[in-house]
Amino acid sequence: MEYITYLVIGLVLIAVAWSFFQKPKPEGNKASPAILWMNGTYAVLLTLNQRNLNYVFGGVAKKKQTTELAKQNLIKHWGIHDLEEGNAMIAELTSERGLHNALLLKYVDEMQLLGLSRQDFERHNQKITSNIKHQLLDRVSFDATQEFADQAILAWDFGRAVYLLSDFYLAGMITKEDALQRSMAICQKIQQLFNSWHDFNRSYLYGFRFWLYSTETELKLTADQNTIKIIEKLEKQAHSPFQLDWNMRLEKDW
């Protein structure tokens, strides 16, 4: 009898653990083609937060618990307490030079990396042996501007702006329609800034690395590798946003 009791308890604990680690069941409506495209601009964040790319707002419904979590996220990670502060952040992220993109361009100028040939840069980078973070920061800044010039990591800024609008909705700061319409307007700008999902994702990854190398107190290269794996996996998935035509006409279809 004692054995059976322990067995039952063990099975219950396994069931609880399984339910805890399972991906949350998505709620709400399936994403229309336009919304699926928009989800692609912050697909990494959706994936990291265990959301479903094929649903509106990643399959998270607005209710008391999710509203409170969204509010806490905005305050903790963005310093956003209300819509006024939120709109100011969106405006900065989607400005001509962006937020982190502007910081990267300033860094490139200060480090005198602009105009260096690849050969000259490699010589410069090899001299920085005492600080690996400085070495990596120089490399990502140089590579990003070499590939995308002044738009180096705008994908990182613009993609996070779309993500923020979903949190504004979940936090009860704006309506669902407002979140989707404003997201679509930003995504239409993104289409003009980049030529393909491949280019967008490369710029986004450069941006993630710049943020990682310049703000994290401890260098966590595993975070970089995880982001690469997420992008590579989504690029191969049949129903991924990255399978949609980059130049598809974005208009209201929900």
Kindly state the helix (H) or strand (E) to which residue 203 belongs, with its residue range. Answer: helix 197-215
Comparing CA positions, the residue from 221, 250, 254, 252 lying closest to residue 40 is: 250
Q: What is the pLDDT of residue 27?
A: 74
Q: What is the pLDDT of residue 129?
A: 65
* Per-residue model confidence as pLDDT tens digits over 164-201: 999 999 999 999 999 999 999 999 999 999 999 999 99
243 to each of 37, 73, 156, 233, 235, how far by Cα in Å?
9, 30, 20, 12, 7
- Measure the CA–CA gap between 152 and 67, rounded to whole angstroms: 34
Domain boundaries, the chain: 31-241
**CB-neighbour burial class of residue 81 (10 A; exposed 0-12, middle 13-18, buried 19+):** exposed
Cα maximum dimension of the chain: 78
- Write down the pTM of the prediction: 0.87
Q: What is the pLDDT of residue 217?
A: 60
Q: What is the pLDDT of residue 13?
A: 41
Q: What is the pLDDT of residue 29?
A: 83
Which residue positions in the chain have pLDDT lower than 70? 1-25, 129, 216-221
